[in-house]
Amino acid sequence: MLLRHTTEKEIDRKALTINPAKTCQPVGAMYAALGVHGCLPHSHGSQGCCSYHRSALTRHYKEPVMAATSSFTEGSSVFGGQANLLQAIGTIFSVYDPDIIAVHSTCLSETIGDDLKQIVAKANADGKVPDGKHVIEASTPSYVGSHVTGYHNMLQSIVQHFAIKTDEAKRQVNLLAGWVEPSDMRELKRISKMMGIKTVLVPDTSDVLDAPMTGKFEMYPKGGTTIPELVSMGDSMKTVAIGEWATKGAAIALDNNCKVPFDMLDLPIGVKATDRFIMSLSKAGAVAVPEEIDRERGRLVDMITDMHQYFYGKRVALFGDPDQLLPLCEFLLDLDMVPAYVVSGTPGKTFGKRMKEIFGDKIDQVKFKNGANADMFQLHQWIKQEGVDLLIGNTYGKYIALDEKIPFLRMGFPIVDRVGHSYFPTLGYMGGIRILEKILDLLMQYQDENSPEEKVELVM
Amino acid sequence: MLLRHTTEKEIDRKALTINPAKTCQPVGAMYAALGVHGCLPHSHGSQGCCSYHRSALTRHYKEPVMAATSSFTEGSSVFGGQANLLQAIGTIFSVYDPDIIAVHSTCLSETIGDDLKQIVAKANADGKVPDGKHVIEASTPSYVGSHVTGYHNMLQSIVQHFAIKTDEAKRQVNLLAGWVEPSDMRELKRISKMMGIKTVLVPDTSDVLDAPMTGKFEMYPKGGTTIPELVSMGDSMKTVAIGEWATKGAAIALDNNCKVPFDMLDLPIGVKATDRFIMSLSKAGAVAVPEEIDRERGRLVDMITDMHQYFYGKRVALFGDPDQLLPLCEFLLDLDMVPAYVVSGTPGKTFGKRMKEIFGDKIDQVKFKNGANADMFQLHQWIKQEGVDLLIGNTYGKYIALDEKIPFLRMGFPIVDRVGHSYFPTLGYMGGIRILEKILDLLMQYQDENSPEEKVELVM
Amino acid sequence: MVKKKDYSAGLPDPTPIIDEIISKYPSKVAKKRKKAMVANDPEIDQPVQANVRTIPGIITQRGCTYAGCKGVVLGPTRDIINLVHGPIGCSFYAWLTRRNQTKPETETAENYMMYSFSTDMQDENIVFGGEVKLKEAIREAYKLFNPKAIGVFSTCPVGLIGDDVHAVSRDMKEELGINIFGFSCEGYRGVSQSAGHHIANNGIFKHVVGNNDRPREGKFQINLLGEYNIGGDAFELERLFEEAGITLVSTYSGNSTVESFAYSHTVDLNVVMCHRSINYIAEMMEEKYGIPWIKGNFIGGSSTAKTLRKVAEFFDDAELIEKVEEIIAREEAKVEAVKAAIKPKVEGKLAMMFVGGSRAHHYQDLFEELGMLTVSAGYEFAHRDDYEGRHVIPDIKIDADTRNIEELTITKTDNPELWRDDLVAKKAELEKKGYEFSHYAGMMPQMKKNSLVIDDVSHHETEKLIEFYKPDLFCAGIKEKYVVQKSGVPLKQLHSYDYGGPYAGFEGAINFYKEMERMLVTNVWNLVDTPWKSEPEIVGSMTINA
Amino acid sequence: MVKKKDYSAGLPDPTPIIDEIISKYPSKVAKKRKKAMVANDPEIDQPVQANVRTIPGIITQRGCTYAGCKGVVLGPTRDIINLVHGPIGCSFYAWLTRRNQTKPETETAENYMMYSFSTDMQDENIVFGGEVKLKEAIREAYKLFNPKAIGVFSTCPVGLIGDDVHAVSRDMKEELGINIFGFSCEGYRGVSQSAGHHIANNGIFKHVVGNNDRPREGKFQINLLGEYNIGGDAFELERLFEEAGITLVSTYSGNSTVESFAYSHTVDLNVVMCHRSINYIAEMMEEKYGIPWIKGNFIGGSSTAKTLRKVAEFFDDAELIEKVEEIIAREEAKVEAVKAAIKPKVEGKLAMMFVGGSRAHHYQDLFEELGMLTVSAGYEFAHRDDYEGRHVIPDIKIDADTRNIEELTITKTDNPELWRDDLVAKKAELEKKGYEFSHYAGMMPQMKKNSLVIDDVSHHETEKLIEFYKPDLFCAGIKEKYVVQKSGVPLKQLHSYDYGGPYAGFEGAINFYKEMERMLVTNVWNLVDTPWKSEPEIVGSMTINA
């Protein structure tokens, strides 16, 4: 057994986290910033943070992940990191020449009380920021929230920094994406295009973290939301924000600062959440839903009705981020699957409320927990207590899956032992078909391999 | 063992086929005809043929497959099937009201010498074919070639029946698709659109055999090449035919009858075959290759260079149709994989020639065989003699894969125990990424499950 | 999505729907099809046109004679090499597609069911004849596998080009010294699979039954006829017989061996499940050996209990009767518990069934147990007796298509040790008490008044039926599956069970109830309509103006 | 795709490339970076700036002190709960990411390496202090797992808010009666992972080494220091030692246990692989117990043979020497066979290497064996002695960043049974014969003239190096992997081995040769350019006019 010390016997833990179902804020800030064109993320803290975050993102996307660091030493920790950051800004603009530096803090700089706003203001005042270039900053203390919070905070900063309301209203819709794959962001744009809606998608890591091999390294790849697009968001008709944990702050900022109203939606995972997304887009853009969208939806529903018997009643354990877990649970329930255990290390009281809404009278069939005390160790203990037919989560779930021989669907962050997630979306109706294809593959493979010989089926 | 009587000991078989790597012509004719809008395939033979073919196609696509039959009895077999077919044509037009009836023969009607051309001419002469409606026919004796031959023959008939050369040249390219999935046909259209080329794709089973669930059965679904499109093919600039076994006759017919020249290409599976396809399209349509095509290609190449170590040196056994096998072998070789055994029940002497071209000085590392004597039993015997790391083929490969514990990639026809193939293409660069994702999933899962505990990898 | 109808007050007269259906047909077709549709009245005899040719061009469920012979009857037998003489397709399509499960005695015992054997006839075999190739294929099969039996199945061209599979089989039997026999089951014979069943019955009876007169074993010996072990049905029945102490000598042909067929004439009783496909064997065994047969039905908890009781009654053994009652009591308690939980959720739902030659009748028991209503049903390849009961057999007109299927002339065995005077006597005695032998009442007496009986239903009719009845469940086969489901009506395959089962016996009933719960209580069908279908501002009233 | 260069006539003077690189830097940065770049001359001593702060804003390979302490040194030890005190990220990122393989003695023996333990500090713990939570977390770990040891690792905020992990550890050790100890390895200490190595060495030496004075076992006892069992390297070395009859008492810290650290002071000799990360333990063991150390290298067939011989020479035992020679002869034959097949295919290829504190040197042996040329190399976190050799240690200026890393004062043990006079004598005797103890010559003497040595290479420099040298292979880590490969140059990770290996020992050399064949002989890089790149009529010269 890989996780040989895990038993079904739970104790009441208050202080020890074992096998977390989250990581810390800065990595999220880094990922969000990479979705802006010409932007270099900067980690204001020890070198290790930046190194760890770049490594984590690189392993997941198998792509270059460029970011700089303030390289704190003991001295900076004692005397404050202002000098480091000012020097870093100067060095970065002269050596790496980005259009934007997106600075996020760390537990270190937060603990010593560095005021990023003030330091950045000073950098601007000192002329360290060349004309037409930008330094934006987000406070992302590692000891608050999770990686999703960091993404949220950086996204909010991006929008706050750039979006400007002018007198010229634009026939466009802001689309604030939660933490999803480049493929998903590409899919959101494809859907918007099919709908005939001009959208500004922020962040947009497509063509950044799924960049082609061309024989030439591009420090700032083709993709990412551009500065003019970001600026224009203040004049949009509406904001459609998907994934509350990741996008709420940015949506509110646009409303507060630029009076762009917003719809706060789930990530469009599965039939119903995608339905809500399509309807929201349709209303926001004042366009009818084109037939081709109906047809993609119909293909997903067709697959559900065709294959219902394989989904029905299967017990599922899930871990990951609330923005994914909520619509995913809703989708599984629509398939007549049984989400039995749900865990997220990301805090947020609305999680429980939303779970209750989604499960309705089935809420008693699910054990769930989120926040600082919710971890994969406990999820595994629950599984030891009563097994499941499927496990869904990031690569770390593999150890549970191998020990317990549970079919395992990789979704979430990080996925470091398989590829494909950055190329094929799980959002939208086509994404739903991909999720179902993968679930069926796993369950059917399990059936094939575990059936007695006389029960092996040719047709399934 | 499921295939417990299979041993590594080969005997020289001349008469007995065991576990075929093909099926018979009519099912291919039926599939091709379904790719024409408003067309009802008709099987001129015993009821069983039609029932078997509809069942086989239904199991693969999980969609309605409509087709009629001449319902031969002993009498018709003795006295000829003309009366049956004439009655069938009348009944079909009045009850099922298709725009086209596509009649294919069977071993039965071929053996008794029914002349479909003459019978159809008589039906027309007798006024059994309503105005504006069509009956087309193809000779598809089951004892010649394979299912691919039937597809080829029906495709040729479709094109011969409809395409007309007028004086008005059209800025469009004919695209003759080999036996691929609806998803692939959709992908071919997407690629053409990206290239900015107007194409007429024949056949086109997208929106026919991947139809949405809408609560309403459509006897003739939205998709399929339309009659006006088919007619217009005679005025196209060029024909790009992909898959020699499936499309050559139709390409030649267009050249002979309408003087539309053609490129005869492999199915665009993998990098190089897709490269040739893109270049052919580019030249045929007189358009430049757009950057987005370069970028999709670059993403595929990126995945290859990123994951090369997992492909390198892995031995693969393949069975299926020549049109798939040839470019797939080329693709595997490009990945530094080792196609070790290749089998197709479909005959054709050019197969060996093309294999030699593709393998070059690696031809000695592969055992291959095609035609009436090549079957899955022999493939399995070869595997027993020396194992492989991966098996690629249709669902019937499962029995070998389970017995020998070989990771198994389902490709080809029929796939009746998994879904997804009709929704996600394997053609083109994005299709290449899907193939690689699936291969990697299989090989990595095998590694995960078969590594000693201390060798289980988090990052791969 | 169709809106559901309420028939709690009784079914409506289906005559208008019959009229509407046939109105679309050319007049000759209409006339013919009308005879295949009957508004049922369980109280009276009404003839149904059955076992007649399907009209060319009509989209039918039916398959061919080869499918009935090789696919249905011989397919499930594991220790015989079933060699298909013909082009590749016929062998390919019958390869593992029927879910006849089989469990060899040991891990190395013969089992050829995962294999497809074919002579893969080519052009030149059609032109010059295929006998030489067939002989060589038999030799190769023998060399590779050393089987104890090889069956040779003729496909369409074989008869036409004059290949004599019987002569070849005789020659090769002599050459190789194993049992080899042929079937003239060309696809064009007869009007459906039914002819193939008959041909298969004849072939097995001629070439296998009686080949081994091994001594009888056990007190109560039976054969189960017409049980093909789809989804493991036979395993469930084997379990029940074994516990009861009844020796199941041979099953035709689920989980079977030719070895057991060879001594299957040594039983005391034949129990016939699928009347249509196998009654010939039962009849012939009675004629030759004096073994009586009864119709049995193991679909549904009550049917299973009833059939078990009837078998026990036949043997009239106190211990056996007690054991059977004990089993029934225990199993029915389990069945009832599940039924009680599920019935309230599915009661009153409407089902229709067009399938096979037996299931369209038997499964009505399961629906009845759940309080569901079968509004329409019909067979794919049955004869009139399967609808109306065996009492109509003398009235059935034998047409040309049936006439050319061989009818074996069976004579009483001249081996006195094999002729069962004891059973003949027992039958006579039991019949006096009202015990029914050789009896099958057919489907129609069981069906509700005004239910619509349709033989060989066509696609057009299927569409109309759905339109009219708006059923909650449609039962048919794979070809119909997605046609029906696209209309928003779930379809349960009753050939393949949709890869579920077993549905026979007590466990099977429980499985089926649960399956009905899955299919009928789910909300997945509510996903079909888009939510914006009812929001006019989203569907089309706006123009794209962004 | 880059075009390859030919350096068969010798490397060019790299001064122009240095100048070009630094021309892009602000002048202060340029001045500093220039000191880290040296045109190598193996014949002369040249100082390289090393182990100094990375300039803020420069994109560096380096990580932090925590990574060096918890991630590198303590991470590979399986029977200790490594509890990270801090916000969640630090523990998360060090969770299974370093491929330190470990193989517990039994299926139930302790192994916590698949687990990530953290106090997951929250806002309130930062504001009000985290000691209470840390104590409770230790108690919970004890209650759940009952481990024999717990290590506590400080992350950045810990020191700043005043949490005393040492005091907490002492308290909890007393409370629970197991070995518990802390590390002040906050990420901001030092200038790279290197500080963390030193802190880890100190902690293990203080809290573990010498805890168990068990009697010595075996004739020839050694520790292997600085071998982390990436990809199973240690397994391969264990295999060799075991066959030779040499007892490997403890490995620091691949496939290791704290249990074995506790008695690791009972050996006769320490063999140091990774000089940078572990020389402190070797030095301290010699100071305290009189155990001498030698530098070893098991990367490459010849290095492995050389090191094995050196160990045997130390023990000066005829049987041992014979056994070692037998092993070397057998294994080198295998190595040579593979090398002979592959070398012709890769000879003359250019490599560069920027990684770690040891591998950038050791792997040059493997490239040499294959006839490949290392054109440029440097370490990520080494000190000057790793470049220039230990003879420069006295000259190294200790700056503020290094000064605040604790330097333990070690005194000779007062236990006469543990102080190894015998070894002290042996060392003196062998040294007379020219045997080198406590010796490491560094990377530069081995490198070619005009090869370019760069410490703490930056992203900008990496890009320029590729542009200039157009190497066939680049060796670095995961952050550099795809950056370099996007330029069409394959990158071999020398931290994680790209999930391959082992590369140590004889088997390892064979694996590495094969890996070079895979990476350098493949045609996949030829797929990078589109074929229409060179067809002007396809790329852009035509307008879309269809």
Closest CA to A297 of A322, A268, A321: A268
Of C83, C116, C159, Cβ closest to residue B19: C116
- Residue D445 burial by CB count (10 A; 0-12/13-18/19+): exposed, middle or buried? middle
Do D72 and D125 have their domain in common? Answer: yes
CATH number at residue A99: 3.40.50.1980
Residues of B in contact with C79 (CB under 8 A): none
User: What angle in degrees, to the nearest 10, is found between the helix axes of D505-521 and D359-369?
Assistant: 70
Residues of A in contact with C97 (CB under 8 A): 458-459
Which of the 8 DSSP states describes residue D488? T
Instruction: Report how far apart, in Å, the C-alpha atoms of C287 and of each of A77, B421, C258, C274 are.
Output: 103, 54, 21, 20
* Least confident segment among A77-81, A225-229, B390-394, C121-125: A77-81
Do A185 and A76 have their domain in common? Answer: no
| Six token digits for residue D357 | 């504190």
Sole residue written with tokens 């904001």: A239
- pLDDT at C538 exceeding the cut of 70: no
- Torsion angles phi and psi, residue C288, rounded to 5: -85, -40
CB within 8 Å of D128: residues ≥ 6 apart: none
Q: Flag whether A6 is in a domain.
A: no
Residues of C in contact with A171 (CB under 8 A): 545-546
* Secondary structure class of B180 (helix, strand, coil): coil
Rounded (5°) CA angle B242-B244-B247:
70
Do C92 and C139 have their domain in common? Answer: yes
Do A183 and A114 have their domain in common? Answer: no
Work out whether the CA dihedral A179, A185, A189, A190 comes out positive or negative: negative
Give the helix ranges, DSSP H, for C4-155: 15-23, 27-34, 65-66, 88-93, 123-128, 131-145
Sole residue written with tokens 């993403």: B299
Do D420 and D277 have their domain in common? Answer: yes
Of C83, C95, C486, Cβ closest to residue B213: C486
Question: Could you say which of B290, B311, B342 is where a domain stops?
Answer: B290
Indicate which of A191, A274, A289 best probes the interface with C, i.e. most C CBs within 10 Å of its own CB. Answer: A289
Q: Do C190 and B73 touch (CB under 8 A)?
A: yes
Which of the 8 DSSP states describes residue C265? G
Question: B touches A (3+ CB pairs < 8 Å)?
Answer: yes
Q: Flag whether C478 is in a domain.
A: no
- pLDDT at C306 exceeding the cut of 70: yes
Q: Do D522 and B458 touch (CB under 8 A)?
A: no
CB A25 within 8 A of CB A142: yes
Alpha-carbon distance D399 to nearest alpha carbon in chain A (angstroms): 12
Question: Could you say which of B231, B260, B290 is where a domain stops?
Answer: B290
pLDDT digits 0-9 by tens, B248-303: 999 999 999 999 999 999 999 999 999 999 999 999 999 999 999 999 999 999 99
| Long-range pairs for C331-338: beta carbons < 8 A, 24 or more residues apart | C331/C240, C331/C301, C331/C304, C331/C305, C331/C505, C331/C506, C331/C507, C332/C301, C332/C305, C332/C506, C334/C506, C334/C510, C335/C301, C335/C506, C335/C509, C335/C510, C336/C301, C338/C510, C338/C513, C338/C514
Question: Could you say which of B127, B162, B197 is where a domain stops?
Answer: B162
Reduced DSSP (H G I as helix, E B as strand, rest coil) percent helix, strand, coil of chain A, to 5: 50, 15, 35
Do C179 and C230 have their domain in common? Answer: no
Q: What is the rounded distance in angstroms from the CA atom of residue A447 to the CA atom of residue A451?
A: 6
Q: Flag whether B223 is in a domain.
A: yes
Q: Give, rounded to a whole angstrom, the gap between the first and last alpha carbons of chain B.
A: 32
Among left, alpha and beta (phi > 0; psi -120 to 50; other), residue A412 is: left
Of D95, D157, D486, Cβ closest to residue A107: D157
- For chain C, give the mean pLDDT: 96
Do A317 and A351 have their domain in common? Answer: yes
* Domain of A425, in residue numbers: 292-454
- Torsion angles phi and psi, residue D282, rounded to 5: -60, -45
Q: What is the rounded distance in angstroms from the CA atom of residue B403 to the CA atom of residue D394?
A: 67
| Six token digits for residue C163 | 């290949």
Do B149 and B187 have their domain in common? Answer: no
Question: DSSP string covering C486-499, please?
Answer: HTT--EEESSSGGG
Indicate which of C95, C238, C345, C522 best probes the interface with A, i.e. most A CBs within 10 Å of its own CB. Answer: C522
User: What angle in degrees, to the nearest 10, is found between the helix axes of B147-162 and B25-34?
Assistant: 40
Would you mind telling me the total number of residues written for chain A in this entry? 460
Do A177 and A133 have their domain in common? Answer: no
| Six token digits for residue C19 | 């009229």
Q: Flag whether C292 is in a domain.
A: yes
Q: What is the rounded distance in angstroms from the CA atom of residue A13 to the CA atom of residue A11?
A: 6
CB C37 within 8 A of CB C465: no
Q: What is the rounded distance in angstroms from the CA atom of residue C200 to the CA atom of residue C17?
A: 38
| Domain count along chain D | 2
Residues of B in contact with C83 (CB under 8 A): 16
Q: Do D463 and A108 touch (CB under 8 A)?
A: no
Q: Flag whether B267 is in a domain.
A: yes
Instruction: Report how far apart, in Å, the C-alpha atoms of B7 and of each of B1, C80, C120, C296 are.
Output: 11, 18, 22, 42
Instruction: Report how far apart, in Å, the C-alpha atoms of B116 and of each of A339, B71, B121, B140, B254 are.
Output: 58, 15, 8, 11, 22
Do A336 and A450 have their domain in common? Answer: yes
Q: Looking at residues B49-73, what average pLDDT do you find?
A: 98
pLDDT digits 0-9 by tens, D211-258: 999 988 889 999 999 999 999 999 999 999 999 999 999 999 999 999
- Would you tell me how many other CB atoms lie within 10 Å of the CB of residue A402? 18
Q: Give, rounded to a whole angstrom, the gap between the first and last alpha carbons of chain D.
A: 33
Q: What is the rounded distance in angstroms from the CA atom of residue D491 to the CA atom of residue B54?
A: 52
Indicate which of D538, D539, D541 best probes the interface with B, i.e. most B CBs within 10 Å of its own CB. Answer: D538
Q: What is the pLDDT of residue D535?
A: 80
Alpha-carbon distance A307 to nearest alpha carbon in chain B (angstroms): 9
Q: Flag whether A16 is in a domain.
A: no
Q: What is the rounded distance in angstroms from the CA atom of residue A180 to the CA atom of residue A202?
A: 11
| Six token digits for residue B134 | 């069509």
pLDDT digits 0-9 by tens, A373-430: 899 999 999 999 999 999 999 999 999 999 999 999 999 999 999 999 999 999 999 9
Do D180 and D261 have their domain in common? Answer: no
- For chain B, give the mean pLDDT: 98
Q: Do C518 and A171 touch (CB under 8 A)?
A: no
* Domain of D121, in residue numbers: 65-187
Out of D36, D50, D67, D360, the active site residue is D67
| Six token digits for residue A2 | 């890989």
Q: Flag whether A5 is in a domain.
A: no
Q: What is the rounded distance in angstroms from the CA atom of residue B91 to the CA atom of residue B85?
A: 10
Q: What is the pLDDT of residue C545?
A: 43
Question: Could you say which of C187, C210, C244 is where a domain stops?
Answer: C187
- pLDDT at C384 exceeding the cut of 50: yes
Q: Flag whether D21 is in a domain.
A: no
Do A431 and A298 have their domain in common? Answer: yes
Active site residue D312: no
Rounded (5°) CA angle A58-A201-A186:
55
Do C104 and C169 have their domain in common? Answer: yes
Do C262 and C402 have their domain in common? Answer: yes
CB B424 within 8 A of CB B441: no
- State which amino acid sits at residue D29: V
Q: What is the rounded distance in angstroms from the CA atom of residue C352 to the CA atom of residue C454?
A: 11
Q: For chain D, which ranges sit under pLDDT 50?
A: 1-2, 541-546
Active site residue D330: no
Q: What is the rounded distance in angstroms from the CA atom of residue C123 to the CA atom of residue B146?
A: 12
Q: How far is CA A165 from the centre of its chain?
A: 28
Of C89, C114, C191, Cβ closest to residue B24: C89
CB within 8 Å of B327: residues ≥ 6 apart: B266, B267, B268, B269, B270, B272, B273
Spatial strand order of the sheet with A17-18 comes to: A17-18, D117-118, D81-85, D149-154, D179-183
Q: How many CA atoms lie within 13 A of C241 on its CB side?
A: 25
ipTM: 0.97
Do C225 and C183 have their domain in common? Answer: no
Q: Looking at residues C249-257, what average pLDDT do you find?
A: 97
Residues of D in contact with A70 (CB under 8 A): 56-57
Do D226 and D173 have their domain in common? Answer: no
Of B2, B302, B418, Cβ closest to residue A440: B418
Q: What is the rounded distance in angstroms from the CA atom of residue A135 to the CA atom of residue A129?
A: 7
Do B84 and B155 have their domain in common? Answer: yes
Q: What is the pLDDT of residue C404?
A: 87
User: Mean pLDDT in runs of 10 for chain A (460 residues)?
Assistant: 98 98 98 98 97 98 98 92 97 98 98 97 97 98 98 98 97 98 98 97 98 97 98 98 98 98 98 98 96 98 98 98 98 98 98 98 98 96 98 98 98 98 98 98 98 98
Q: What is the rounded distance in angstroms from the CA atom of residue B321 to the CA atom of residue B305?
A: 28
Residues of C with CB under 8 A from a CB of A: 95-97, 99, 101-103, 232, 482, 485, 490, 496, 498-500, 515, 518-519, 522-525, 527-528, 530-532, 535, 537-546
CB B252 within 8 A of CB B186: no
Do D153 and D290 have their domain in common? Answer: no
Q: What is the rounded distance in angstroms from the CA atom of residue A354 to the CA atom of residue C78?
A: 55
Q: How far is CA C366 from the centre of its chain?
A: 16
Do D162 and D249 have their domain in common? Answer: no
Do C161 and C233 have their domain in common? Answer: no
- pLDDT at B404 exceeding the cut of 50: yes
Do A203 and A281 have their domain in common? Answer: yes
Q: What is the pLDDT of residue D536?
A: 67
Q: Flag whether B168 is in a domain.
A: no
Q: Flag whether D259 is in a domain.
A: yes
Do B303 and B283 have their domain in common? Answer: no
Question: DSSP string covering B262-292, please?
Answer: EEEE----HHHHHHHHHHHHHHHHT-PPPHH
Active site residue C460: no
Q: Flag whether B442 is in a domain.
A: yes
Q: Flag whether D382 is in a domain.
A: no
Q: What is the rounded distance in angstroms from the CA atom of residue C66 to the CA atom of residue C47?
A: 28
Do A190 and A328 have their domain in common? Answer: no
Out of C64, C312, C382, C475, the active site residue is C64
Closest CA to C200 of C254, C281, C95, C265: C281
CATH number at residue D118: 3.40.50.1980
Q: Looking at residues C121-137, what average pLDDT do you find?
A: 98
Q: How many CA atoms lie within 13 A of D321 on its CB side?
A: 7
pLDDT digits 0-9 by tens, B80-91: 999 999 999 999
Q: Looking at residues B38-54, what average pLDDT do you find?
A: 98
| Domain count along chain B | 3
Indicate the pLDDT class of residue C546, thresholds 50, 70 and 90.
Answer: very low
| Six token digits for residue A257 | 């600062």
Q: Can you list the positions of beta strands (E) in B59-99?
A: 68-69
Question: DSSP string covering A225-267, please?
Answer: B-HHHHHHGGG-SEEEEE-HHHHHHHHHHHHHHH---EEEE--
Q: What is the rounded distance in angstroms from the CA atom of residue B206 to the CA atom of residue B203?
A: 9
Q: What pTM, to 2 d.p., does this model score?
A: 0.98
Measured between CA atoms, the residue of chain C closest to residue B92 is C57
Q: Flag whether A17 is in a domain.
A: no
Do A285 and A227 have their domain in common? Answer: yes
